[in-house]
Structure 1
Amino acid sequence: MSQSFRLSLKSIASSKMRSFLTMLGIIIGVASVILLVSLMQGMTNYISDSFSDLGTDQVSVSVTNTDTRNVDVDTMYEFLEEQQDLFAAMSPTVSVGGTLKNGTESSTTASISGVGEDYLNIQALELSMGRFIQYSDILSRQKVCVIGSYVAQELFAGESALNQTLKINGEAYTVVGVLQEKADSEEGSSDDCVYLPYSVATKLSFSADISSYVFTVKNTDYMEQAKSVLEDYLYGIFMNEDLYNVTSLSEMLEMVTSMTDMMTMLLVGIAAISLLVAGIGIMNIMLVSVTERTREIGIRKSLGAKRRTILQQFVIEAGVTSSLGGIAGIVIGCILTPLTGNLIGFESTPSISAILVSFGVSAGIGIIFGYMPARRAANLNPIDALRSE
């Protein structure tokens, strides 16, 4: 066995360029599998972290009120009171389009939302100064707002925004709080936001009808039960499933994870084609090698070399060739994975399982595709082999 291994290394070293070209398919295939699997895992982790920041304990509700069947804020708060064993908090949400202005500075990119007093805890937001929207603000329709760090930096030029006046669609609002930075204070990020009392936001949106709510559950283990209770309650009011929609973020996360897993399998399948092609290349080169070394095989067999020894030598040579290609592919894949991840914008580390599987497959391909040439070499007639030129 050791002698066959040494002979295979000697044969590979004697034809460096041919050996490299033989390994190239294996190198590309292994590197591709590691890179694609690792990137998809990195993307899945990035998405999971993003959903975790939003809160996997949340249930979003959207309703379409009609003249005869509808729910309002009071109705939803009554439901919350009745289901305190399942739900921890609830907030209406009202989206408002508009322009922010302070002096000569203005912004049209900020997301403006009307929310309830519990929204701060629901979204796990933190304040850097001031306070959040209070129930008294909602009840008395106070023109107050809480702004994100990006809005504070851009519209107030580094000055303290607390208790300053911010105009939203031309109406003056008092800034009562500033949120802590979450997304590097970039335009269009979660820091580019303004929160108002939902009772005030309905006037800005020119509609008294609130159609969106967000709930948090006390225990994520009972997410399905909580979602089912909420759906049953809404069905009892609307009697039509098309008039409401209940979605949990954990359910969305599972769906996205399932999709990324399917994409991973598809991409790995495409990358594996190069491994198959590489195996055919190894078989072809080994057949050429057997032809070139026919006389050598004849001499060895005439000196007493057994059939299994010849078979073993060529199988090991094919296995070593593919294994060396696999090792080179692993090195390249491990180098490219973090570099590509940083380029795309998320952290990605080489997958240990992908490394082990791709190396095992590469070695297996060498052995499988090398067996036929090895068998041909082992079955050569010594006399015919010696006559070969």
Structure 2
Amino acid sequence: MNVINLFKIALRALNGNKFRGFLTMLGIIIGVAAVITMLAIGQGSKKSIQDQISTMGSNMINIRPGTGQFGGVRQSAGSMQTLKLEDYEAIASQAEYISAATPEVSSSGQVIFGANNSPTSVYGVNPSYLEIRKYNISQGSMFTEMDVKTSAKVCVIGQTVVENLFTNGEDPVGQTIRFNKIPMRVVGVLESKGDNTMGMDQDDLVLAPYTTIQKRVLAITYIQSIAASAVSEDATEDAIAGIEEILRQRHKIGVGDEDDFNVRSQKELISMMSSTTDMMTILLACIAGISLLVGGIGIMNIMYVSVTERTREIGLRMSIGAKGIDILMQFLIEAILLSVTGGIIGVVIGISSAYLVKSILMWPIDIQIYTIILSFVVCSATGIFFGWYPAKKASDLDPIDALRYE
């Protein structure tokens, strides 16, 4: 018996029990739809996180003080004073694979304009900060290197600060605001970047020359951190190695001794966040995949019932020349048709559900072609795996016993 005839026989058998066939496919449909939807949400979240981190500067490198121990007490990184302005100058002039660098000092407090005030953070940096953090100026201009050298009382503010202080629609550029009683003239306004992946408002900030913040706000001579930008994302590891070598030499750190600084890159953050989202996606897909297992068991159960109901039919086919392999293939094809048809319907429902989640809940989604291919492979494997034993049982029936079966 050829394969085409076997398909025709299988289709006629399934057509005779449409409702039972649909109920059998239901587990497969739900499983495939759930897997595709969960993977789309997981991959969408991963891509969204990567895109948001990239807007912060995917090749950005942060150098911060390390922890230290003095008098038997371990000090936190925030209280350490191991980074000096000379360290920044050495990195800026000597480090390879670095396109830009800036010292960083920061403070929190109230920013005031007229009768309006708002809590915010001020960051002392140099003009390269815009390039490193991927900020752009929407109004006015960035302060200059001359402003840094003269510790000028000028600043650039984010959109959130503009909204909180200039409530009457005033042009911020040229206005004087106060931060902790220190007047600063606004020379520019940053373009809006929105919240980052941790939910922090990237527009709620004030940028000023680091020398101004050091002398007039914090009264310190050291710097709290250094931000740098590698020439490319691929060169980040080489840039970090060069920075670490420069700082070890400057701080006279011997081989095997603990560094008094930490160097981290956005690439590490992307890797960590991606691995976390991947793990969660796999977990969700595995939970959804349980429906596929249940659906497969349903197929096996129905095929057992089908073999029992059609025992006399099997005996009749064998008595007129059908071989065991023909009977095996007939029932196996029925099982595969059930699973693959359920898989096709599940794929359509899964894709529709993913876009429904995007439109209603506004969650990011990313449907990968491999998830659809994987669904068909799993469906076919499910049909073969769970349909094999009932089909084998049918092919092993004795024709005479089958004809006598009531």
* TM-score, normalised relative to structure 2: 0.87
Q: Deviations over 1:209-254 (max 9, x none)?
A: 3221101122443322221121122223062535210011123223
* 40-49 vs 255-264, which moves further: 255-264
Question: Percent of aligned positions with the same letter in both sequences?
Answer: 40
Deviation, structure 1 residue 377: 1.1
- Cα distance in structure 2, aligned partners of 1:41 and 1:213: 33
Deviation, structure 1 residue 282: 0.9
- Cα distance in structure 2, aligned partners of 1:12 and 1:350: 32
Of residues 89, 101, 119 in structure 2, which corresponds to 1:90?
Answer: 101
Which residue in 2 is equivalent to 1:214? 227
- Cα distance in structure 2, aligned partners of 1:220 and 1:386: 73
Are 2:379 and 1:377 aligned?
no
- Cα distance in structure 2, aligned partners of 1:13 and 1:299: 21
Q: Which amino acid aligns with 1:317?
A: E
Deviation, structure 1 residue 87: 1.7
Counterpart contact for 2:107–2:122, Cα < 8 Å = yes
Structure 2 CA distance for partners of 1:57 and 1:11, relative to 1, 3 Å: same
Q: Deviations over 1:309-346 (max 9, x none)?
A: 21111101000000111011101111112332455545
- Cα distance in structure 1, aligned partners of 2:260 and 2:332: 67
Which residue in 2 is equivalent to 1:241? 258
Are 2:155 and 1:145 aligned?
yes
Counterpart contact for 2:153–2:185, Cα < 8 Å = yes
Q: Which amino acid aligns with 1:353?
A: Y
- Cα distance in structure 1, aligned partners of 2:227 and 2:92: 11
Of residues 284, 306, 323 in structure 2, which corresponds to 1:267?
Answer: 284
Deviation, structure 1 residue 154: 3.2
Are 2:174 and 1:163 aligned?
yes
* 344-353 vs 46-55, which moves further: 344-353
Of residues 208, 211, 215 in structure 2, which corresponds to 1:196?
Answer: 208
Structure 2 CA distance for partners of 1:156 and 1:342, relative to 1, 3 Å: same
SS at match of 1:97: strand
Q: Which amino acid aligns with 1:8?
A: A
Of residues 216, 219, 225 in structure 1, which corresponds to 2:238?
Answer: 225
- Cα distance in structure 1, aligned partners of 2:88 and 2:342: 63
Which residue in 1 is equivalent to 2:84? 72
Q: Which amino acid aligns with 2:147?
A: D
- Cα distance in structure 2, aligned partners of 1:235 and 1:184: 36
Counterpart contact for 1:227–1:246, Cα < 8 Å = yes
Which residue in 2 is equivalent to 1:19? 21
Q: Which amino acid aligns with 2:194?
A: A
Moved over 6 A (4+): 65-69
SS at match of 1:241: coil
- Cα distance in structure 1, aligned partners of 2:324 and 2:245: 75
Are 2:191 and 1:180 aligned?
yes
SS at match of 1:183: coil
- Cα distance in structure 1, aligned partners of 2:67 and 2:305: 77
SS at match of 1:70: coil
SS at match of 1:129: strand
Structure 2 CA distance for partners of 1:107 and 1:324, relative to 1, 3 Å: same
Structure 2 CA distance for partners of 1:336 and 1:112, relative to 1, 3 Å: farther
Q: Which amino acid aligns with 2:225?
A: S
- Cα distance in structure 1, aligned partners of 2:186 and 2:165: 12
Which residue in 2 is equivalent to 1:331? 348
SS at match of 1:99: strand
Counterpart contact for 1:132–1:177, Cα < 8 Å = yes
Which residue in 2 is equivalent to 1:81? 93
- Cα distance in structure 2, aligned partners of 1:69 and 1:42: 41
- Cα distance in structure 1, aligned partners of 2:15 and 2:116: 70
Which residue in 2 is equivalent to 1:301? 318
* 376-385 vs 56-65, which moves further: 56-65
Which residue in 1 is equivalent to 2:55? 53
Counterpart contact for 1:46–1:346, Cα < 8 Å = no
- Cα distance in structure 2, aligned partners of 1:65 and 1:388: 82
- Cα distance in structure 1, aligned partners of 2:12 and 2:111: 74
Q: Which amino acid aligns with 1:228?
A: A
Q: Which amino acid aligns with 2:231?
A: K
SS at match of 1:162: coil
Deviation, structure 1 residue 206: 5.6
- Cα distance in structure 2, aligned partners of 1:96 and 1:344: 37
Are 2:377 and 1:360 aligned?
yes
Deviation, structure 1 residue 207: 4.3
Q: Deviations over 1:242-294 (max 9, x none)?
A: 52100111232233323333433333333333222221221111001111111
Of residues 133, 145, 150 in structure 2, which corresponds to 1:123?
Answer: 133
SS at match of 2:109: coil
Which residue in 1 is equivalent to 2:298? 281
Deviation, structure 1 residue 175: 0.8
Q: Which amino acid aligns with 1:100?
A: V
Q: Which amino acid aligns with 2:265?
A: S
Q: Which amino acid aligns with 1:170?
A: K
Counterpart contact for 1:25–1:278, Cα < 8 Å = yes
Cα root mean square deviation, aligned: 2.5
* 251-260 vs 122-131, which moves further: 251-260
